[in-house]
Amino acid sequence: MARSIILLLDSFGIGYAHDAEKFGDQGADTLGHICEWMAANRKNADGSPKYLALPNLAGLGLAAAAELSRGQKLVHPLSKDDSKVSGAYTYAEEISHGKDTLSGHWEITGVPVLFDWGYFPVQPKCFPKELVQAIIEQGKLPGVLGEKHASGTEIIKELGEEHLLTGKPIIYTSADSVLQIAAHEETFGLERLYELCKICYELVKPYHIARVIARPFVGTCAADFVRTGNRHDYAVPSPEPTLLDKLVEAGGSVYAVGKIADIFAHRGITKHYPASGLDNLFEAALQAVREAPDNSLVFVNFVDFDSSYGHRRDAKGYGEGLEYFDGRLPEMLALLKPDDLALITADHGCDPTWSGSDHTREKIPVLFFGKMVEGCALKPMATFSDIGQTLAAHLHLQPLANGTAAELR
């Protein structure tokens, strides 16, 4: 029986969406701007530009999908011949109200977010006083630090030493619907941090916040503080059954790699493979594909493209991360069975050359591949849910509530 595999490159947009202006993102282009940055700033030994090289992704249709989305070719080819394509490619646009992680993933799996999340205002002391007081009281804390919008790496440099001295956790937010809590993994304690996040998850429900995220870190001072791989997301569950729920209800299996289980509130998950870092995530993805039985979905989120490169506006790191992923793709291709349908896609953009540090409203690549897929251009997808509907059809499930399945043959 059939299997499906989703390799989601978190934040890998391929050109601004039709409604990007509403989000302040008209002109954003994660892939296009990385190509331009690498060509302008990276050199070969002879001094010539060292272009972004993604031959395996190009072979699955990435350059062609980007041209379809952007209305023009990338500034340079991603391979020696971008015209040789073995995948079925296109792009998809988002109809969810936000450009956040949950909205993107839920819409891909058939549940667009057609309501507005709650957000904390961009101002000092951004959290309501009654919420902060409840966190302190129920968490039995001496107080809290932060209480503002901030970069997660910068705020631990700014307040980490005070946190060590006082025992006060650092609470902060971003442009997403989220409350994040940073605390030292050893002195504050990892389990204590998780318990505090569970308390906060309940406390933020009246504010319609999508996620509470535990952000543990280690180190002795601002110069060497670093976040660990023990992040944990406490996410609101999808209001409707997703592709994952439908598959498990039908007797199939969902093998979740990285933060996928957290994103779906551990619902519709058969087995979870925790991992962090591109190398470890790819190894876990390979393991999941080896172990996944027939009638299953392997769903992988490569979070580093978003958290380590996009939000940190690191175009070089993003480009080199893409090249690393591309270099390992043949290992994944070698594991595919004759009836497997694999997909490379994203959940939103996060242009590393854009102002600020937030996500960008972009179209996402849709690259279907496998032994049963013929190389061709597909119609552009009007909603991310067309992806989930296509996978549902491949897995012989009843149609999802949203989306139109693409014809791959």
Residue 203 within any structural domain of the chain: yes
Is 357 a residue whose pLDDT tops 90? Answer: no
Co-location of 389 and 249 in the same domain: yes
Residue 205: burial class (beta carbons within 10 Å; 0-12, 13-18, 19+): exposed
pLDDT in tens, 104-126: 999 999 999 999 999 999 999 99
Q: Look at residues 219, 227, 237 and name the one whose alpha carbon lies nearest to residue 311.
A: 227
H helices within 109-219, ranges in order? 129-138, 152-166, 190-203
**pLDDT score for 337:** 96
Co-location of 27 and 66 in the same domain: yes
**pLDDT score for 362:** 98
Is 133 a residue whose pLDDT tops 90? Answer: yes
Residue 408 within any structural domain of the chain: no
The DSSP string of 51-72 is: ----HHHHHTTHHHHHHHHHSS
Q: Which two tokens stand for residue 256?
A: 């979740």
How many Cβ atoms sit within 10 Å of the Cβ of residue 56?
A: 20
CATH, residue 174: 3.30.70.1250
Co-location of 207 and 258 in the same domain: no
Query: How many residues make up the chain in this entry?
Result: 409
Co-location of 226 and 260 in the same domain: no
Question: What's the average model confidence in pLDDT over 250-271?
Answer: 97
Co-location of 284 and 381 in the same domain: yes
Q: Looking at 179, 201, 231, which one is the last position of a domain?
A: 231
Q: Which residues contact 173 (CB under 8 A, 6 or more apart)?
A: 119, 120, 126, 127, 148, 149, 150, 179, 180
Co-location of 220 and 253 in the same domain: no
Is 81 a residue whose pLDDT tops 90? Answer: no
Distance CA 164, CA 151 (A): 19
Co-location of 205 and 267 in the same domain: no
Co-location of 244 and 346 in the same domain: yes
Co-location of 295 and 222 in the same domain: no
Q: 317: part of which helix (H) or strand (E)?
A: helix 315-333
Q: Looking at 166, 198, 231, which one is the last position of a domain?
A: 231
Contact 116, 92 (CB under 8 A): no
Distance CA 329, CA 303 (A): 17
Residue 188 within any structural domain of the chain: yes
Contact 399, 388 (CB under 8 A): no
Co-location of 143 and 271 in the same domain: no
pLDDT in tens, 151-196: 899 999 999 999 999 999 999 999 889 999 999 999 999 999 999 9
Is 1 a residue whose pLDDT tops 80? Answer: no
Q: Which residues contact 78 (CB under 8 A, 6 or more apart)?
A: 35, 52, 53, 54, 55, 57, 58, 62, 63
**pLDDT score for 82:** 78
Residue corresponding to tokens 């002109």: 27
pLDDT bin (cut points 50, 70, 90) of residue 86 is: very high
Distance CA 91, CA 66 (A): 8
Is 407 a residue whose pLDDT tops 90? Answer: no
pLDDT in tens, 23-56: 999 999 999 999 999 999 999 999 999 999 999 9
Residue 174 within any structural domain of the chain: yes
Distance CA 70, CA 15 (A): 5
Decide: helix, strand or coil at residue 135: helix
Which structural domain range is residue 57 located in?
3-111+238-394
CATH, residue 379: 3.40.720.10
Q: Give 380-383 contacts, CB < 8 A, sequence gap 24+.
A: 380/68, 380/69, 380/90, 380/91, 380/92, 380/93, 381/90, 381/91, 381/92, 381/93, 381/406, 382/92, 382/93, 382/95, 383/92, 383/93, 383/94, 383/95, 383/107, 383/112
**pLDDT score for 142:** 98
How many Cβ atoms sit within 10 Å of the Cβ of residue 22?
A: 10
Contact 182, 169 (CB under 8 A): yes
Residue 204 within any structural domain of the chain: yes
Contact 389, 401 (CB under 8 A): no
Co-location of 359 and 281 in the same domain: yes
For the chain, what percent of residues have pLDDT higher than 70?
A: 100
Q: Looking at 180, 210, 231, which one is the last position of a domain?
A: 231
Residue 194 within any structural domain of the chain: yes
How many domains, the chain?
A: 2
**pLDDT score for 5:** 98
Higher pLDDT pick, 137 / 229: 137
Distance CA 161, CA 175 (A): 25
Residue 93 within any structural domain of the chain: yes
Co-location of 25 and 155 in the same domain: no
Residue 122 within any structural domain of the chain: no
Distance CA 276, CA 168 (A): 27
pLDDT in tens, 298-345: 999 999 999 999 999 999 999 999 999 999 999 999 999 999 999 999
